[in-house]
Amino acid sequence: MADHNKKKTESDHPVSRLVGLLAQFDDPDSLIHAGTHAREAGYKKMDAFTPFPLHGIDEAIGIRRTWLPFFVLAIGLSACAFGLFLQYYSNAGDWSPIFPGYAFMISGKPLFSLPANIPVAFEITVLSSAFAAFFGMWALNRLPRLANPLHRISRFRRATNDRFFLLLEAGDEKYDSSRSRQQLEEWGATAIEECNEDLTDREFPKVLKMAGLILVFLLMIPPVLIFRASGGTSRAPRLHFMPDMDWQDKYKSQVLAPDFDDSVKHTGLFADGRAMRVPLPGTIALGKLENDTEYHRGFLPPQSSYTGELPVLGEKLAGQFNLQDEKPEGTAEGAAAVQEGAAAPQDPNAPPEPNWVTEFPANVPVSRELVERGRQRFEIYCSACHGYNGNGGGLINQHAMALAVNGQAAWTAAKSLHDPTITVQPVGRIFDTMTNGRNTMGPYKSQIPIADRWAIVLYVKALQETGITPAVIAPVEGAPETTPATKPAE
Amino acid sequence: MHKQRPAIITSPIISLNKAYVRMIPLGLIIGAAGIGASFLFSAGDFSRFSFSWLTSFCALLSMSLGCLFFVIIQHLTRAGWSATVRRIAEIFAMCTLPMFVLFLPILLPVLMGKGWVYEWNVPGWSGEAASPMEKLKEYYLVDWFFAIRIVAVFAIWGAMAWFFLGNSLKQDRTGDPQISKTMQKHSTWIMIVFAATLVFSSFDLEMSLAPLWFSTMFPVYFFAGSFLSGMAVLILASLLLQRSGRITDEITIDNYHDMAKLAFSFVFFWGYIAFSQFMLIWYANLPEETFWYGYRINMDPETGSRGWQMMSLALLFGHLLIPFLGIMARTVRRNKTYLFFASIWLLFFHWIDHLWIIMPESTPEHTFNFSLLIDIPMAIGMIGIYMALFALIAGDRPLIAKCDPRLGEALNLKNH
Amino acid sequence: MSIVINPETDNTFEDPGKRAPLVLGGLDYGGVTENVASLWEATRPPRAWYITLGISMSFMAILGACILHLFMKGTGIWGNNNPVYWGFPIVNFVFWVGIGHAGTLISAILFLFRQNWRTSINRAAEAMTIFAVICAGTFPGIHIGRVWAFYWLFPVPTEHLAMWPNFRSPLLWDVFAVGTYATVSVLFWYMGMVPDIATFRDRCRTKIGKLVYGILSLGWTGSSRGWHRYEAAYVILAALATPLVLSVHTIVSFDFAVSQVPGWHTTIFPPYFVAGAIFSGFAMVVTLLVPCRQLFGLKNLITIRHLENMNKIIMATGLMVGTAYGIEFFIAWYSGVQTETFAFYNRAFGNFWWAYWIMVSCNVFIPQVFWFKWARTTPWFMVIICIFVNIGMWFERFVICITSLCRDYLPSSWAYFYPTEFDILMLLGSFGLFFTLFTLFCRYLPVIAMAEVKNIIPRGGHGDDHDHHETHGSPAVAGE
C-alpha cells in the first residue's frame, strides 16, 4: 500500500487507511458501462460488486481468466494415479517393508484386477478434483476474509440484494479523489462514498485469541496423559473398548472352564473341572482296531497279549555270537547295559519272545515298487542315523557318538544293518524295532504308516542282501573304536 | 449488453446449389472404386466381403441414427442453440432411408440362405435346443422374420426423418412457428418408437452375429457410439460447409463449442457404457457371456496372435482416453482447426469400434481379420456413396432452417 | 380440460418463438430477495411447519430407537435370513441414494444444459440430495454388525490389522462412491449457498444471526473477481458432479450386477438404475416443493412451468425405466438361459407377484397420466402421482433384490421373505429423518438460490418482461 494513503493520527500510528471510492449503480447495465469507461480511462485496480454473477463485467473491467481449471486437472490426474497405486499396493502384493499389502486371491481374479479397480480410482479422482476446485477457489478469492472494510459501509449491504457497486482503489495510478469522483458521477453513479479501512479490524479479536489459547491448552492434555502413561506400568486391567468376542460364554477343550459363578471356582461341567469326558478304557477309535497282529505288530497271533515291551534282544543275540568281548566304550550307559546284557544269562522272568513273522504278511505287496517306496521312506526316516547304506554313517549317529565320547550324551550307537545280529532277525522283528523303538531309537509308530513300515522292512532286507561289509564306525578323535561288530563280510 | 443479432440468414448462398449435381456422380464413382477394389481384393470370399460391407455400413448407419436422435431430442427439449445446425442433422438423418438400398447386399443373401454373414442363417446353428422356449429363438433369428424387422425399422426411420425434414422445409416456405410446436408435440412418442427401433435393430444387425451371446446393455452401447459419431459428423459437415462458403457466419464459434461439449460428454458416456458392459461380464465370469469378450481381448490360443487385443487397446486409447483429454479444454472446443481433426479422429475410431464388434465373428476361429486392402477401400467407398446420398437429399435445399422461430437464439448464443 | 391460461400467473404456454417467463409477479432483484428472505425473517413460521416438524421428529425418534436396539441385539432383529440375505436395509439404501440423484441432476446437469428454470429449485433439491444421502448412508453404516469395527472399511494401515479393504468388492466401491457423493454434494451445496447466506447476513438484525451467517458466508462481498473464480469453480464442480452422479448409482447397481444371481446379472443395470434414480428423485422433489411453494408463498418463483418441466422429466425417465424392463424381458428369453427366463417369470407370477405388479403399475402405468397437460400442471394431483412413483420405485428395488434371492439356482433353497417389524419401522423412521432435516432447512437456510434466480431475470430488471435477451427471435422471413 502506498504510504501517502495512510492517514496519520496524533500518535503517529496509522489507524485507518483509504481503500478507495465506492460508487453505487442501480442497474447492471449502468455498472457495465461505468466499468468499461473506467478501464478505458486507465484504471487497473478496481473491482465491481454485484448480487449475482454479471455477464459482461469480466470484459468491462478486465478480469483475466483464472487458472483454477488447470490446478484441478493436475490434482485430478495425480489423484487418479494415486487411486490406482493404492489399490495395487494394498491388494496386489506384500512387497512393502512397512504396512505391506495383502494379496487377496478372490474368485480367481488377477491380483491386480484393473477393471475392478476403476470405480474406486474414479471416485478418488472426482473427490480430489472437487476438493481442489472448492478449496482452490476460496483460496484464490482470499476467503474467508471476515474483516472487509466494505462491510462497514451500510449502503454496501445492498450489494448482496439489488444494487451494483464499483470500487476504484486508491492504490491505482489514475486515482485522484476529486477527479475520480467526478468521473464516477459522469458514468452514472447514483451514490459515491469513500471507503476507509479501520486497521484495528485486522487484528485478531482478543476473545478469540484467549479462546484459542485455552483450546490449545485443553487439547494438550490428552497427549500429555498418554505420554505419561506410556512409559509406566499399571496393575489395573487394560481398557478393553471393543469386546468383540474375546470373552465367550462357552466351554473350550483343554482349558479350565470359565468361572460363571464367583462363589464356585472352576466348576466346569463335570466334577473333575472338565467340560469333556475321557474315553472309557479300552475305547478304540474307528479304524484303529488293528486286529491283524501279523500285519499290525509283526508277530503271529498267539502272542496277542503282548504289549510291546521287549528285552534288550540285541544283547541276547550278542551273547550268541560272542560279541561280549567287544567293549563299545563310546557309549557310557549303553556300554554298561550291553555288558550286563551280554554277561547276564537269559532272564527267566523276561517276557517270552513273540513269534515273529518270518514272511511278509499277505497284504504287503512285495514288489519292486514296494522296494522303491521302502528306499524312499528309509532315506527319509532312517538314514539320519543308519546312513544311506545302513552302515550307521548317518550324521545324527556320528554327532551323538561324538558327544557321548565326551560324556555329554547317552547314546547307543546305531547298529549297522549288515551286522549279523541284525541280518538274522526276522521281518517281524525288524518291524517291531521300527514301530516301538530300541534303546535310544525312538518309536516310529506315530510317524510312519504301517504300509510304509513294511516297505522299509523290505528295503532293509534288500540292503542286507547286498552284502555290504558291516561298517567300522569311523573313530572320533581320541575315542577308541566303538563298532559293535567287526565281522568281515561273507 | 450485447447487441442482438437479427434472426436472419445473411449468407448469399445457403445451399449446395449447383455443387450437388457434381457431388452425386463423384460420390458414386468413389463408391464404385472403393467397393470394387475391396471386392477384388477379397478374391471371391463373399463372406469376408460381406463382413467388410457390414462394418462400414453399420458405422455409417449408426452415425445417421445419431443425427436422427439429435433432431428428435432438439425438438423434444425445445432447444434453441442448435437451430442453425439442425437442418444439416436432418439431412443426415434422412440418409437412413436410402441406406436400406445399401443393406440389400446383406439382406438378399440372408433371404437366399447363403449364410455369408449371420451364423443363424445356416440351418442347425443352435444345435439341440433344450426347451420349446429356446426353440422359439430359431423362429426369431430366421431369414423372413429378420427381413420383416429390417424393412420395418428402415421404414420407420425414413418416416421419422421425413417428418422432421419435411416439416422443417415447410417452415422455410411458410414461416409458421406453429410447425415447431407440432414437431415438438410429436417428438415425444417418436422418441419412444425410435428407442424401440434402435434396440431391436442393434440386436439384429450386430448382436445376432454371435447368436448365442446376449447383453442387455448392447443397444445402449450402440446408441452411445451412434450419437457420438453423429455429433462428430455434424461438426465436420458444418466446418466443411463453412469452409466452402455455403454458410458464412451463421454457425458461430459458440455453436461449435456446444457441439464439441456434447461430443465430449458422449466420449465419456461411451466409455462409461463400454466399461460397464465389459466389467460386468468380466466380473461374473459366466462362460455363456465371456466368450464374446474372450475373442476380443485375449491372445488367440491357437495362433498366438494379439491382433484383437491390440485393437481393443487401440479402442480404449483412441475412442476414450485420448479424445477425453483432448476435447476437455475450452480453447480446444473453440478452435475450428482442432475440431476438424478431432471430428475425423472420432469418426475413424467409431468405424474401428464397429470393426471390433463385427469382424471377430467373420471366421469360425475368431481370428484377427483386418485387411488394409479389403476394409479400408470399402470404408472409403461407402463414404463416397454416403456423400452422394447426402448431396441427393440436400439438393438445392437450404442448409439452415431459415425460418426457425429459435434462430435468433442460436445466432446470439454466447458461451461464457 | 381446457383452462384459460392467464400469462400473469400461468407460464406454461407453448410459443416456439418465445421463452416463457420464469419469474412471475413482476419481481425484480429486490423482490426476489424479499420473497425468499422474508420467510426466514418471519417471527413465526406457519403452523404447518411446526406440525410437520413434530411428526417427522417423532418418526426420527422411532428410527433412533430402532438403531439403538439394533446395536444392542444385532442384525438378527431384521428379516434377513437364508436365502434372502439382503433385505430391507439394502433396499432402503438404494432407494434413498436414488432419490438423492435428482438434486445433483438439477444442480449440475441442467446447469450444463443451460436450463434456466433450474435456478428456483436447485437449492431445495440439493438439500434434498444431502438429506437423502444421509438417510441412505445410515443403512450401510448400521448394518455391519460390529459397528465399532467400521474403520475397517477404509484403507487405514494399522499394525494389528495387517489387512486392507477388498477393493474388488462393489460393496467397498459403494463406500467410496457414496462418501464422495455426499462430500461433493455438500461442497456444491455450500458453495452455492455462500452468496445467499451473505444476503441473509446483510439483512439480519439479530446478533447471533449476524455472527453465524457472517462466519458461514466467509466474508463474501459479491466481488466480480470473486464471482469469476466462483463461476469457474461452479462449472468445474458441475462438470465433476455429472459423471459422479452417473457413477454413484452405477456403482450401487454393480452391487447386484457383478453377481451371478439370475435377475441381477444383467449388463443394462448401470444406466437403468441411474434413470430410475432420477425418476424417483424428481418425484420426491415435486412432493417436497409443491407444499413448500404453497406454504411459504413461493409461487412466483417456483412456478407451474417449473413443476411441469419436472413432470416431463419424470415421464421421460419413467419411460427409460420401462424400456429397460422391456429389454430385460426380451433378453431373458433371447439368452436361452433357463434360470434367467425363470427369474423374470417368477417376478411376475411367483410368490412375490403382488410386489411386482405394484411396481409395474406405479412405475409404468400411473405416470402415463402426465401425457395430459392438466395432470402436469395441477399441483395437488401431481403430488399424488409422485407419491405413487416413489412407492413404485421402492418396490422396484424390493422386487429386484428379494425375488431374485428368494428363488435362485437351487429349488431346495427357495423360501419366502418375511420382513420384521424393525425392517418396516426403520423404513418409516428414515422418512422421519429426511423430513426433519428438510423442514429445518426450510426454516434456517435460503430455500431458493436467490443469486441464481436474479441472474436469469431479464436485464430490464423485471421478471415477466418478455424481451428476454436470449430469446430475440422474431421470425423474420428473409428473402431467398
What does the pLDDT look like over B202-217, one tens digit per residue? 999 999 999 889 999 9
In-domain check, residue A427: yes
* Structural domain total, chain A: 2
DSSP state of A306: -
**Final residue before a domain boundary, out of A203, A221, A253:** A203
Q: Within an 8 Å CB–CB cutoff, is residue C156 touching chain A?
A: no
- Decide if pLDDT at B56 tops 60: yes
Pairing of strands A46-49, A191-198: unpaired
Residues contacting residue B1 through CB under 8 Å, at least 6 positions apart: A29, A32, A56, C459, C469
Say if residue C220's pLDDT is above 80. yes
User: Residues near A44 by Cβ (< 8 Å), separated by ≥ 6?
Assistant: A62, A172, A173, A174
Quote the CA–CA distance of C297 and C287 in Å, as a whole number.
Answer: 16
Same domain, A199 and A322: no
Among A203, A230, A256, give the residue marking a domain's end. A203
Count of residues making up chain B: 416
What's the pLDDT at C241? Answer: 95
Please state whether the peptide bond connecting residue C83 to the residue before it is cis, i.e. omega within 30 degrees of 0. Answer: yes
CB contact under 8 A, B285 and A108: yes
Average pLDDT, chain B: 92
Question: Which tens digits make up the pLDDT trace of C90-115?
Answer: 999 999 999 999 999 998 999 999 99
Residue A159 shares a structural domain with residue A22: yes
- Cell 436470449, residue located: C470
**Which of helix, strand or coil describes residue A449?**
coil
Do the Cβ atoms of B1 and A115 come within 8 Å?
Answer: no
Backbone torsions φ then ψ of C38, nearest 5 degrees? -65, -35
End-to-end CA distance of chain C: 42
Q: How many other C-beta atoms are found inside a 10 Å radius of the C-beta of residue A267? A: 16
> Any alpha helices (H) in C399-474, and if so which ranges?
404-406, 421-444, 450-456
CATH number at A335 reads 1.10.760.10
What's at C220, amino acid-wise?
A: W
Task: Please report the residues numbered 130 through 149 in chain B whose beta carbons come closer than 8 angstroms to any beta carbon of chain C.
Answer: 130-131, 133-134, 136-137, 140
Asked whether A159 and A11 are in contact (CB, 8 A), the reply is no
* Helix boundaries (H) for A406-471: 420-423, 427-436, 450-465
A178 and A38 within one domain = yes
More reliable by pLDDT, C250 or A93: C250
Instruction: Give B379-405 as a DSSP string.
Output: HHHHHHHHHHHHHHHHTTS-SS-TT-T
Whether the CB of B1 is below 8 Å from some CB of chain A: the reply is: yes
Give the global pTM: 0.81
Measured CA to CA in angstroms, residue A226 lies from A157, A238, A339, B137, C183 at distances of 51, 14, 71, 73, 33
User: pLDDT at residue C332 above 60?
Assistant: yes
Look at residue A298 and tell me if it is in a domain.
no
Which residues have a Cβ under 8 Å from the Cβ of A334 and sit 6 or more positions away?
A: A328, A404, A410, A411, A412, A413, A439, A440
Element (H, E) at A249: none
**Which chains does chain C touch, 3 or more C-beta pairs < 8 A?**
A, B
Residues C451, A51: C-beta atoms closer than 8 Å: yes
C88 CB-near residues (< 8 Å, 6+ apart)? C78, C79, C80, C419, C423, C424, C426, C427
With contacts defined as CB-CB under 8 Å, which chain C residues touch A27? 459, 461
Contacts of A159 in chain C (CB under 8 A): 202, 221-222
- Put simply, whether C421 touches B (Cβ < 8 Å) is no
Q: Identify the residue with better confidence: A391 or C475.
A: A391
Q: Do C191 and A137 touch (CB under 8 A)?
A: yes
Q: Mean pLDDT highest for which of A385-394, B308-317, C198-207?
A: B308-317
3-state secondary structure of C265: coil
Q: How far, in Å, CA of C244 to CA of C231, rounded?
A: 19
Question: Alpha helix (H) ranges present in B112-177?
Answer: 132-140, 143-174
Q: Using H for helix, E for strand and C for coil, what is the string for B61-129?
A: HHHHHHHHHHHHHHHHCCCCCCCCCHHHHHHHHHCCCCHHHHHHHHHHHHHCCCCCCCHHHCCCCCCCC
Mutate to test the interface with B, among A32, A54, A55 (most CBs of B within 10 A): A55
Disruptive mutation site among C267, C330, C341, C371 for chain B (greatest number of B CBs within 10 Å): C267
Q: How many other C-beta atoms lie within 10 A of the C-beta of residue A40?
A: 10
Distances (CA, A) of A333 to A472, A476, B234, C158: 21, 18, 104, 57
Minimum mean pLDDT range among A237-251, B36-50, B141-155, C131-145: A237-251
Asked if residue A189 and residue A43 are part of one domain, the reply reads yes
Instruction: Identify which of B100, A207, B75 has the alpha carbon closest to the alpha carbon of residue C211.
Output: A207
Contact in structure between B296 and B308 (CB atoms under 8 Å): yes
> Is residue A52 included in any domain, yes or no?
yes
- Look up cell 513294511; give the residue: A454
C376: left (phi over 0), alpha (psi -120 to 50) or beta: alpha
Closest chain C residue to the Cα of B220, Cα to Cα: C268
Q: Is there a domain that residue A278 lies in?
A: no
Question: In this complex, do A141 and C243 lie within 8 Å of one another by their Cβ atoms?
Answer: no
Minimal Cα distance from A110: which residue of C?
A: C168
Rg of chain C's alpha carbons, rounded to an integer? 24
pLDDT at A9: 44
Contact B402 C271 (CB under 8 A): no
Q: Measured between CB atoms, does C144 come within 8 Å of chain A?
A: no
Which of these, A327, A331, A333, A336, lies nearest to A401 by C-alpha position?
Answer: A331
Put simply, the chain B residues between 287 and 326 with a CB less than 8 A from any chain C CB are 288
Average pLDDT of chain C to the nearest whole number:
89
pLDDT of C149 reads 80
**Residues shown for chain C:** 480
Q: Do A195 and A150 form a contact (C-beta atoms < 8 A)?
A: yes
Indicate yes or no: CB of B288 within 8 angstroms of CB of C335. yes
Strand duo A46-49 + A16-25: pairing: unpaired
Distances (CA, A) of C231 to A21, A135, C62, C227: 26, 14, 42, 6
Task: Give the pLDDT of residue A8.
Answer: 44
Kindly write down the DSSP assignment for every residue of C80-141, as one continuous string: --SS--S-HHHHHHHHHHHHHHHHHIIIIIHHHTT-GGGGGTHHHHHHHHHHHHHHHHHHHH
**Distance of alpha carbon C379 from alpha carbon B35, whole angstroms:** 60
User: Of B220, B286, B406, which has the smallest distance from its Cβ to C473's Cβ?
Assistant: B406
Q: If you measure CA to CA, which chain B residue comes closest to C228?
A: B416
A212 occurs within a structural domain: no
Taking CB atoms and an 8 Å cutoff, what residues of chain A touch B1? 29, 32, 56
* pLDDT attached to residue A265: 61
Residue B282: which of A55, A73, A115 has the nearest Cβ?
A115
- Provide the domain limits for residue A141: 14-203
> Does A270 fall in a domain?
no
Report the pLDDT value the prediction gives residue A203, as an integer from 0 to 100: 81
In a shared domain, residues A171 and A314 = no
The reply to whether A455 and A337 lie within a common domain is yes
Indicate the residue among A155, A171, A203 that finishes a domain.
Answer: A203
d(CA C306, nearest CA chain A) in Å: 21
What's the mean pLDDT in C73-95?
Answer: 93
Q: ipTM of the predicted structure?
A: 0.92
Tens-binned pLDDT, residue by residue, of chain A (490 aa): 444 444 444 455 668 889 999 999 998 999 999 999 999 999 999 999 999 999 889 989 989 999 999 999 999 999 999 999 999 998 888 888 888 888 888 888 899 999 999 999 999 999 999 999 999 999 999 999 888 899 889 999 999 999 999 999 988 888 888 899 999 999 999 999 999 888 887 788 888 899 999 999 999 999 999 888 887 788 888 777 766 777 777 777 776 666 555 565 656 677 777 777 888 888 888 888 888 888 888 888 764 455 554 555 554 554 454 444 444 444 444 444 444 444 444 556 666 778 888 889 988 999 999 999 999 999 999 999 999 988 888 898 888 888 888 888 788 888 788 988 888 999 999 999 999 988 788 899 999 999 999 999 999 999 998 877 776 655 445 444 444 443 344 3
Q: Tell me the pairing of strands A6-7 and A16-25.
A: antiparallel
Contact residues for C373 (Cβ-Cβ < 8 A; gap 6+):
C12
CA distances from residue A142 to B55, C167, C223 in whole angstroms, order as listed: 56, 38, 11
- Picking from A438, B172, A133, the residue whose alpha carbon sits closest to that of residue C232 is A133
- Which element (helix H / strand E) includes C161? none
Closest CA to B8 of C16, C17, C471, C478: C478
C-alpha cell at A182: 467526478
Closest-CA residue of chain B to A60: B1
Residue A27 lies in a domain: yes
- CB C293 within 8 Å of CB C302: yes
Q: Which chains neighbour A (Cβ–Cβ under 8 Å, 3 or more pairs)?
A: B, C
Helices C269-295 and C379-398, packing angle to 10 deg: 150
Instruction: Check pLDDT > 80 for residue B105.
Output: yes
- Return d(Cα A151, Cα A160) in angstroms, integer: 11
| pLDDT score of B133 more than 80 | no
Q: What's the grid cell of residue C478?
A: 428473409
Q: Considering the domain boundaries, does residue A453 fall inside one?
A: yes
pLDDT tops 50 at residue C221: yes
Q: Are B226 and B263 a contacting pair, CB within 8 Å?
A: no
Q: Which residues fall within 8 angstroms of residue A270, CB to CB, at 6 or more apart?
A: A277
Q: Which chain B residues are Cβ-neighbours of C271 within 8 angstroms?
A: 217, 220, 273, 276
Q: Each residue of B7-36: pLDDT tens digit?
A: 888 887 788 888 888 999 999 999 999 999
Nearest by CB to C268, which of B220, B265, B272? B220
Claim to verify: residue A193 and residue A321 sit in the same structural domain: no
